[in-house]
Amino acid sequence: MILSFMMLNNIGFSQVHGGVQQYYYAGNGPSSIVPKAYYQSRKKWYGEVKYNYEASQTIAMNAGKMFSKKNKISYSVTPMAGIVLGKLNGINTGVNIEMDYKKLFFSTEMEYTFSIDKNTGNQFLTWTELGYQLTRKVYSGIALQVIKNAQQKNIWEPGIMAGLVHENWTFPVYMFSPFCNNRNYVLGINWQWNYKNS
């Protein structure tokens, strides 16, 4: 999942921080829980562990380094690589991109998994958000998830999102394919901590 929570809380790009995210997927298809933990050092090295994201019963461990700039339009780019183990096995490559301008924020997470299993092909995933911070504690916007692999036809799923922010907690809600009968829902509970120098 995208870390738009960082943008909403104006976190310093060189600040040590980490967090835990918990997402619940429901709707058209089997329900699943997708947990994620991440950490970023003061020198902008980044690491994350995800479960059930690339595929069910699959864990992914990625690491990389963030390049960022704070200005009128702030941005960060974090290229990563890692491994995927479980029902899908392979090598991960990807990038997280985040931008914000005043109350407007954009984020996208893209990754490509090179599968080493003969019965599963390579896979491309992307999750993109464009949102607006309505108040200090409320934001909303649009989202898009794309899945491309050998097991199913390409999936382009647009959606809408909204969320509440309370101190170090965010509670995002997504509805994908909102105008179709096969709509999907994603509910999240995210917590983040920040280490500030005295």
pLDDT digits (tens, 9 = 90+) for 79-129: 999 999 999 999 999 999 999 999 999 999 999 999 998 778 899 999 999
| Confidence tier at 155 by pLDDT (50, 70, 90) | confident
| Confidence tier at 72 by pLDDT (50, 70, 90) | very high
The answer to whether residue 1 scores a pLDDT higher than 60 is no
- What tokens does 165 get? 């922010």
pLDDT at 13: 54
Quote the DSSP letter at residue 132: E
Could you tell me which of 174, 122, 165, 104 has the C-alpha nearest to residue 145? 174
Residue 176: Cβ-neighbour burial (10 angstroms; 0-12, 13-18, 19+): buried
pLDDT at 33: 96
Q: What region, left, alpha or beta, does residue 9 occupy, with left being phi > 0 and alpha being psi -120 to 50 degrees?
A: alpha
Count the neighbouring beta carbons within 10 Å of the beta carbon of residue 196.
8
| Confidence tier at 58 by pLDDT (50, 70, 90) | very high
Q: Does domain 4-195 have CATH number 2.40.160.40?
A: yes
The answer to whether residue 144 scores a pLDDT higher than 90 is yes
pLDDT-wise least confident of 48-52, 86-90, 116-120, 155-159: 116-120
Could you tell me which of 23, 38, 54 has the C-alpha nearest to residue 161? 23
pLDDT at 197: 61
Q: Which one is predicted more confidently, 90 or 181?
A: 90
In this prediction the pTM is 0.87
- What tokens does 10 get? 């104006």
pLDDT at 6: 40
φ and ψ of 190, to 5 deg: -125, 140
pLDDT at 181: 86
Pairing of strands 155-166, 169-176: antiparallel
Q: What percent of the chain has pLDDT over 90?
A: 78
Residue 141 to residues 67, 172, 176: CA-CA distances in angstroms?
25, 11, 12
Could you tell me which of 104, 170, 164, 173 has the C-alpha nearest to residue 137? 164
Dihedral angle sign, alpha carbons of residues 25, 112, 17, 174: negative
